[in-house]
Structure 1
Amino acid sequence: MSAAHNKAIKEAEPQTRGDKRRAAFIAAARQVFLEQGYEAASMSEIVLRAGGSLSTLYSQFGDKQGLFISMLDARVRQITESMGVELSAHTPVQEGLRRIGEQFTSKLLEPESLEMYRLIVGLARKFPEIPREFQRRGPDKIRQALVDYLMDREEAGEIRLEDPYRTATLFLEMTRSGLVSRALLDEDVRPNAEEIRTSVNIVVDMFLHGIIRYQPDPDSTKTLKA
């Protein structure tokens, strides 16, 4: 494990008593929301599992929606950390994208992530502000983290970017679409590490090198012969 990776983990660990209490609330909230759903989830039940008091819970998160969004933030940080590690290490693009792709897909395929995504989609009609906030604080942040890494690799002369934002979007969608979509629809689909690695390798190779073999323009060939 690299020094940069160790540093990222250390910085993510709660340091103060307040940080530890906040982390306990978020962990308990994750359990309750997934078990009971957003509407039925009880703040009192969360406090019962985490310890502390309702007043402390409300002072830290404001209300149920604030707690739910904070829980999503904590999950997103776990994904963006791996991209930050590759950025800090200036990892060569092929190696970096493979590691980012594997970490990203593995996190999305965790049962908790799949259940969370299903829960958010279910809230879209009645509580549209929650999915919108999730998009802003989740996928948008993950995409920006990848943009930062890709721009670093462009500055190193490894790649050329016409549109960094769309390029990052394309990579993330290619990486997640096959395995994650199937797992969302079928609980029996649980890709293992080797399946994830194989899928990501194909995506990275296609992303960096394309799938159409270059062939000269026939007209230009005729001109050269003439």
Structure 2
Amino acid sequence: MRERLLSAATQIFRAEGFGAARVEEIAARAGISKTTVYRQFGTKEDLFRAAISHGMEDLRGRIEQLLKPSREFEKTLSLLLRTLTEHMATTDTIEITRVVVGESNRFPDVANGFVRYVNEMLEPVADFLACAARCGTISVQDAPAAARDLLTLVAGSTEVLMGIPTTRAHREQRAAHIQRLLLSAWRYTGPGEAHQPRA
């Protein structure tokens, strides 16, 4: 029942925001009474916090699966960028980001939780980049900053910021463009080139 309630609340808060969402509508969608909603969560505010947290997909787990040490760096980076670009284009991601940004003044704790979620999601990316830098594959002094730069390039397009739908071909083209920028900025050396590992 709690899972059903959180799913219903997540859908409605994403679609309507906090202010317009009605507990009665959430209860009806979950197939329970309004009293049960309050018994489970106490307040609409606490339900909102729980719903947003529930709605954050375990993107870190998916990223960790991609970053296999045995795979060539350029191919791994391509998979990572395509995965993130696709993730940013989903309706769920667009809606949850809009709600968190829109309600950040009223719920700074939710906004801070969202930032922590993003930072935790980037930890395996930073580890991957640090490993590649130690091997001399790329030249990166600050791996966590490089990971944030990567995400900024993916998330910072006008289409993502405005929630404008894009085609898969457009997203793949954008991911490839970002990859070229990063490989150049990080002075990537391919498998057949001389590597100079960092001390």
Length-normalised TM-score, structure 1 = 0.67
**1:174–1:26: structure 2 CA closer, same or farther, 3 Å change rule?**
same
Q: Pick from 37, 56, 81 the counterpart of residue 17 of structure 2.
A: 37
Alignment match, 2:175? 200
Report the alpha carbon displacement of residue 120 of structure 1 after superposing the two structures with TM. 1.6
Aligned to 2:102: 122
Aligned match of 2:125 in 126, 146, 150? 146
Q: Could you list the per-position Cα deviations for residues 77-101 of structure 1 after superposition, in whole angstroms to 9, with x for gaps in the alignment? A: 3422321111356433222222221
2:8 corresponds to 1:28: yes
SS at match of 1:38: helix
Normalising by structure 2, what TM-score?
Answer: 0.74
1:102–1:197: 8 Å Cα contact kept in structure 2? yes
The one-letter amino acid of 2:172's match is: R
Would you say 1:172 and 2:147 are equivalent positions?
no
Q: Does 2:76 align with 1:93?
A: no
| Unaligned ranges ≥5, structure 2 | 188-199
**Aligned residue runs from structure 1 range 6-17, under 5 A:** none
The corresponding residue for 1:182 is 159
Q: CA deviation at 1:191?
A: 1.3
AA matched with 2:152:
E
User: Where does residue 220 of structure 1 map in the other structure?
Assistant: none
Counterpart of 1:108 (choices 80, 88, 94) is 88
CA distance in 2, matches of 1:95, 1:59: 50
CA shift at 1:55, angstroms?
Answer: 7.6
Distance 1:80 1:23, change over 3 A: farther
Aligned mate of 2:112, from 97, 109, 132: 132
**Match of 1:124, SS?**
coil
**Gap change, CA 1:56 and 1:170, over 3 Å in 2:** same
**For the structure 1 residues 106 and 22, does the alpha-carbon distance in structure 2 shift closer, same or farther, using more than 3 Å as the test?**
farther
Query: In 2, distance between residues paired with 1:45 and 1:67?
Result: 13
2:142 aligned residue? 163
Identity %: 22
- Determine which structure has greater relative contact order: mean sequence separation of CA pairs < 8 Å that are 6+ residues apart, divided by chain length: 2
- Kept after mapping to 1: 8 A contact 2:138/2:186: no
Name the SS of the counterpart of 2:19 in structure 1: coil
Segments of structure 1 that go 5 or more residues without pairing to the other structure are: 1-20, 213-226
In the superposition, relative to structure 1, how do residues 211 and 36 fare at CA in structure 2: closer, same or farther (>3 Å)? Answer: closer
Determine which of 41, 46, 68 is the counterpart of 2:48.
68
Aligned length: 187
For residues 76 and 162 of structure 1, do their structure 2 counterparts lie closer, same or farther at Cα, with a shift above 3 Å needed? Answer: farther
Q: Which has the larger radius of gyration?
A: 1
Cα pair 1:92 1:153 within 8 Å, conserved? no
Q: Partners in 1 of 2:132 and 2:49 — Cα distance?
A: 32
